[in-house]
A = this chain, B = another copy of it.
């Protein structure tokens, strides 16, 4: 029996989760929702996803443009086993009473606080704990990227301390309102940034200090990661662990890639949907171990994509008996992950 999934908020994340869900053998999309007419509505129609809207007074805007409206968000939720809430940060909290009233499971994104869901999820770390919950929160793109690599190193070597600098993209590629145009913005100016505590919402025992900036680019965050390890590591062993991890990809030296732009071009050339990079992109050449326990590396995180596969896994974790490894395998296979 397939899991019936509703997407509340068909935008940057929502449209990606919808396609990833639709590609799974054990899931189907019962509807997606929008608040106002724009190009995304044409995309939903082209995909054949029933489109629900928040305010039926806007129905003429959609239908006048040739996009049929299936009903209200409430009606959509009534047809689903689980709803993925991909609305803008803070709106998810406002939607909570509606989900409680419908007694429907809901998956929040990292724009909501941990407290809204009471449980923060990463498929490599705590998949099994999602079972039976009504609410789960997939942590943000940056946190997801940090958790994957830190957890893997911690399992093998023990991580005593993490120092991470995140250089973040200013706006998503299609967002024309946000800047800056020519500035490096400290966000926040105070140190450390909030990313460390957010990592601890999933990995409670990790010591981590983070700093974050915004730069005028549109595609991918870039992390500089330094980890002080408990046991000695070698560069080769770290590379092996990266290669073996289902959600970490190695950007190999032979590809000659040394920027986010070239990495995007490669994803595009590989025919990835929307040029999405769902895995962490660890730069092979950057991985270095000093004095045995001081690990450094660069990794690229596609802000629009890495959480998409986590949402798919979270659905299975909450609504099925499929175990973690099998879910990750199924998710990746359905998306035809090509090795980075």
Contact = CB atoms under 8 A, between A and B. Distances in A.
Nearest to A276: B268
Contacts of A187: 258
Given A42-B255, A217-B184, A283-B186, A175 B165 contact: no
Number of copies: 4
Contacts of A180: 171, 175-179, 181, 259, 261
Classify chain A: how many residues form its interface, as a range: 35 or more
A202 B189 CA distance: 30
Contacts of A171: 179-181
Given A182-B182, A189-B258, A258-B187, A271 B273 contact: yes
A256 B62 CA distance: 12
A157 interface: no
Contacts of A204: none
A262 interface: yes
Nearest to A65: B254
Interface residue SS majority, chain A: mixed
Nearest to A67: B254
A270 interface: yes
Most chain B CB within a 10 A radius of its CB, from A259, A268, A273: A259
A315 interface: no
Interface of A: 15, 37-40, 42-43, 46, 61, 64-66, 163, 165, 167, 169-171, 173-192, 209, 211, 213, 215-220, 222, 224, 226, 252, 254-262, 264-266, 268-271, 273-275, 283, 285-288, 290, 294, 296-298, 338
25 contacts: A39-B256, A39-B262, A39-B265, A39-B266, A43-B269, A43-B270, A169-B184, A173-B182, A173-B264, A176-B261, A180-B181, A181-B182, A181-B216, A181-B218, A182-B261, A184-B217, A185-B259, A186-B258, A186-B283, A190-B285, A191-B288, A192-B290, A209-B290, A216-B217, A269-B274
